[in-house]
């Protein structure tokens, strides 16, 4: 299927480029366990991809935790800082982004993570992330609202020098998909297997891994084996 040609690409990071979502799950369970609570995908599906404080407020209320959202985030950040340097690329992520870089296609990262946590996640992959023309983190002073608001994607497009309709966004989270669509961009989603694919129906494509993505569907140069 031939689609409207795309000239710029924007990526989420957690659960899309890097395998970090398991760290969030394990760390959050360790925080809520002393209160006799269990953190599973029935809760995580409402939090994934959202701004940290927004997610924390949801969790504290949903699990009726005797701590504030800020206290939860303080505990979580300390534990995540130990885990994030272990992050590895998800299947197909590095190959796809390197391919587009080699063809001169501008690419950006737009992550809800703070710049501090982003640095930890990518510290063993600095050469890879230097390939991106623009990095926008959730604590950027120009990002007024977190996903599902479109702010972070609109800012990334602006810094790439692109119009929204020229941009293709890769996401794994419903809130990220909503943010991309609200920005007037096309979106390809690669959901976690634990997520209900039904919530991703508004996306233009739903994939199992980035290996399945066929660039020529979007007017982009295909990978060598496609």
Which tokens go with 35?
């209160």
Is there a catalytic annotation at residue 40? Answer: no
Is there a catalytic annotation at residue 54? Answer: no
Please identify which of the residues 12, 140, 151, 172 carries the catalytic annotation: 12
Residues 6+ apart with CB under 8 A from 16: 90, 93, 170, 171, 172, 190, 210
Q: How many CA atoms lie within 13 A of 1 on its CB side?
A: 5
Please identify which of the residues 14, 140, 151, 172 carries the catalytic annotation: 14
Q: Please answer whether residues 188 and 205 qualify as being in contact, where contact means their C-beta atoms are separated by less than 8 angstroms.
A: yes
Residues 6+ apart with CB under 8 A from 134: 106, 107, 108, 109, 156, 159, 160
Burial class (CB within 10 angstroms; exposed 0-12, middle 13-18, buried 19+) of 153 = buried
Helices 115-122, 69-83: axis angle to 10 degrees equals: 20
Residues 6+ apart with CB under 8 A from 80: 23, 24, 27, 117, 120
Q: Which residues are catalytic?
A: 12, 14
């Amino acid at each position: 299927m031939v689609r409207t040609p795309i000239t710029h690409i924007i990526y989420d990071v957690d659960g899309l480029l890097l395998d970090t979502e398991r760290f969030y799950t394990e760390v959050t369970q360790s925080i809520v366990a002393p209160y006799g609570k269990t953190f599973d995908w029935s809760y995580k599906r409402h939090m994934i991809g959202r701004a940290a404080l927004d997610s924390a407020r949801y969790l504290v209320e949903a699990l009726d935790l005797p701590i504030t959202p800020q206290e939860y985030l303080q505990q979580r950040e300390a534990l995540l800082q130990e885990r994030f340097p272990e992050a590895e690329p998800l299947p197909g992520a590095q190959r796809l982004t390197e391919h587009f870089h080699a063809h001169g296609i501008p690419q950006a990262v737009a992550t809800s993570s703070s710049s501090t946590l982003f640095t930890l996640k990518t510290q063993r992959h600095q050469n890879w992330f230097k390939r991106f023309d623009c990095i926008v983190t959730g604590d950027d002073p120009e990002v007024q609202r977190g996903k599902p608001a479109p702010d972070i994607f609109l800012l990334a497009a602006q810094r790439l020098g692109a119009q929204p309709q020229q941009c293709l966004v890769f996401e794994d989270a419903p809130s990220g998909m909503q943010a991309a669509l609200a920005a007037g961009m096309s979106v390809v989603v690669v959901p976690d297997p634990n997520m209900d694919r039904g919530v991703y129906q508004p996306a233009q494509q739903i994939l199992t891994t980035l290996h399945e993505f066929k660039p020529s569907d979007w007017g982009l140069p295909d990978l060598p084996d496609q």
